[in-house]
Amino acid sequence: MIYFICICDNIWYISKFKIQHIVYHDWGMDKMKFYKVSPVICILFCIILMMSGCVENVTESISDIGDKASSLVDDGLNYIDSGFNGQDTDLIKAISNFPTLDNNTIDTFEGYQNFVDSVNALFKFLNREGGYNFQVLKGTREEYDKISKVITEYSPLIDNHNAVIYAAREYDKNNSESVKAFYKALGVFGLKFSIIYATVWYAPTYKTVGMVYRWSGLNRFAFKYPTLISFILSQAHWGLRGVLVDKSSEAAEYFFDGLNNLI
C-alpha cells in the first residue's frame, strides 16, 4: 500500500493554491525508500488526483487509465494556462506605462537614488500584482557604496530594466511569442539583479541559491515557461561577466552553478 506524504521542499503558487513536492513511501518494501518528484510532475500528479479521486480498487485497464490521465492533464494545463494568460494581459499592459531610465551610467549617489526609485517601483508592482518576491533596494549611502564595490558599471542593468518595459509595450495578447519575450526580459533582469543583491548582502551558500531562485522569479518561470530557463540563465550569466568585479564574479559563478543544479 502506498501512502503519500507532502513536504514543504519547494512551494509552487498556482492562482491561490499552493502545490508542494510530493514524496511517497512504499511500506511494502523491506527498506524505507523516499523518492522526490520534480515540481512539474508533482503538479500534474496533483491535478490527476484532485480531478479523478484516489481509489484503491481500480477495474479499468491500464490503457483506459492512461487515456483518462492524459485527458485530465490536458484539461488541467489548459485551466492553469488560461489563468496565467489572464494575469499576463493586465500585468504586462500596466508595466508598459512605466517610464524607462536614461541610458547613462551612474557615478553619483543622486543618480543611484533615481535608479533605485525606478527599479523599486517596478519590483513593488510585480510583487503586489503578480505575486513575485523581488527584493527592493534601500537607496542608502551604505548600499550605494557596497554595490559600487561589486559592479563596475550600471549601464547593462539599466538596459535590462528598460528591456522589460519595451517588451511590455510590444505585448500582443494574440501573439504568444510576445508574452515569452516579456518574460525573457523580466527573467534576465530579475536574475542579474537578484545575484548582485545576494552578492552584496549575503555569503554564497546553498541556502542563498534557493533565495535567489525565488527572488528572481525563476520558480515561476520554470512552471510557466520551462523552455525559457536555459535562455535566462545563459543571458544573465554572460551579461554579468563584464559587470562584476573579480571577487564578486566568483560568488556569481557559485550562484549560477547552484541554480543549474537546482533546476
Closest C-alpha to 96, from 165, 3, 32, 182: 165
120: how many CB neighbours lie within 10 A of its CB? 16
Which pLDDT belongs to residue 50? Answer: 53
User: Backbone phi, then psi, for 204, in 5-degree steps?
Assistant: -75, 100
Per-residue pLDDT at 192 = 95
pLDDT of residue 197: 94
Low-confidence ranges of the chain (pLDDT < 70): 1-87, 103
pLDDT score recorded for residue 225: 83
> What are the structural domain ranges in the chain?
2-78, 96-262
pLDDT at 52: 53
pLDDT of res. 144: 94
DSSP string, the chain: -EEEEE--SS-EEETTEEE--EEEEETTSSS--EEEPPHHHHHHHHHHHHHH---S---S-HHHHHHHHHHHHHHHHHHHHHHHHHHHHHHHHHHTTSPPPPS----SHHHHHHHHHHHHHHHHHHHHHH----------HHHHHHHHTTBS-SHHHHHHHHHHHHHHHT--TT-HHHHHHHHHHHHHHHHHHHHHHHHHHS---HHHHHHHHHHTTHHHHHHH-GGGHHHHHHHHHHHHHTTB-HHHHHHHHHHHHHHHHH-
Q: Given this model, what pLDDT does residue 41 score?
A: 53
Q: Is the pTM of this model over 0.75?
A: no
For position 28, what pLDDT does the model report?
33
Stated length of the chain: 263
pLDDT value, residue 46: 54
pLDDT value at position 87?
Answer: 61
